[in-house]
Amino acid sequence: MNTLAPQPLRLTDVARVLGAGWREFRAMPGLSLMLGGLIALLGLVLLLIPFALGVPAVVLIIAGGMALIAPLAMPLFHGLQQARARGERPRLGLALSTYRRLGAGFWALAAACGFLLLVWITDAGILYAFMVGAGTAVEPVVAAPLGGAGAGTSSALNPASPLIPTAWAHPGLRSFVIWASLMGAVLAAGIHLIAGFSLPLLQEGRAPIIPAIHASVRTVFGNLTATLTWGLILVLGLLLGFLLPPLLALVAPVLAYSQYALYRRAFPLTAPGPAPASVIASDPGVEPALQADLIAEPTAQPGGEASPRRKESWKP
């Protein structure tokens, strides 16, 4: 029985999967940018809310929270990869319909990500209230005059005087950023631990939810240098993308494709049959016998040949 034992990952694999993600993006630039643009638009709408309320520091809370649920968008991009590997024309509707074919395991994992999102918003909000408080809304403060008698009085009326938001100069804000970053890093590591490799396993139907999460945890702890480096790239890339929404349209698909390439290096398909590039097409909606063949070794007959039924299930 295949126990989904991960293959070793090296630090050099991180650079290779980024290159693979970029090549996959270049193969489908229009649709990839369209999906990334939809995600960026959602992020932009959410990020405008704190500015409308006069609490711009809360942008950090929202950006960190979006990074926690970003893995749930991976099936969209993997659906495009699967369609292209099957020889079909990738379409936006096909990518969106990927969620209809996902099983209960994916939605259980999505619920776990949503729970961690609530934990983050609640704890970061309490931290913000204690360290920054509600009395630090953005108020323009005139910078100190450069010199000259009466300059302090005239500069207050000078429209050219630089304005500095008092909220950003608040010492509590600096403490909030430090502690919130540490707390967010812990939660992001938890998401990467349970979802980084289990989501592709679930989407390909290679394992149910518990074995998939167990395999993901084993992969991360068994390859700490490579997986932590990759996790740092993911978090920084997503945070930068959410803070600069137009950039997210490019960052999101490249990182999603790269994550799948890293997954394929950790869990290559060793069973006989088509090349891994075409097995991306394996769909959670196919019959259970075919799903089992994706993870099982071929059975031997008394004559020494592989099972005919097993061979038939691997026909392209």
pLDDT digits (tens, 9 = 90+) for 35-78: 899 888 988 888 788 778 777 767 777 777 777 888 888 888 98
Which region among 73-87, 129-143, 156-170 has the lowest average model confidence (pLDDT)? 156-170
Which class for 186: exposed (0-12), middle (13-18), buried (19 or more C-beta within 10 A)? exposed
Which region among 28-42, 74-88, 281-295 has the lowest average model confidence (pLDDT)? 281-295
| Contact between residue 256 and residue 230 where contact means Cβ atoms under 8 Å apart | no
Write out pLDDT tens, residues 144-203: 444 444 444 443 334 444 444 445 556 677 777 777 777 877 887 888 888 889 988 888
At residue 99 the predicted structure's pLDDT band, cuts being 50, 70 and 90, is confident
Quick check: pTM over 0.85?
A: no
Residue 21 has a pLDDT of 93
Residue 147 has a pLDDT of 43
At residue 279 the predicted structure's pLDDT band, cuts being 50, 70 and 90, is very low
As a whole-number percent, the residues of the chain with pLDDT over 90 amount to 17
DSSP notation for 251-304:
HHHHHHHHHHHHHHHHS---SSSS-HHHHTT--TTS-HHHHHHTTSPPPBPTTS
Residue 168 has a pLDDT of 53
Which region among 12-16, 94-98, 111-115, 135-139 has the lowest average model confidence (pLDDT)? 135-139
Beta bridge partners of 306: 300
Residue 23 has a pLDDT of 93
**Considering the chain, what is the average pLDDT of its residues?**
73
- Comparing CA positions, the residue from 280, 290, 271 lying closest to residue 88 is 280
**Mean pLDDT computed over 79-102:** 82
Residue 312 has pLDDT above 80, yes or no: no
- Comparing CA positions, the residue from 250, 240, 296, 273 lying closest to residue 63 is 240
**Calpha distance 61→118 (Å, rounded):** 11
Q: Residue 237, Cβ neighbours under 10 Å: how many?
A: 21
**Mean pLDDT computed over 199-228:** 89
As a whole-number percent, the residues of the chain with pLDDT over 70 amount to 72
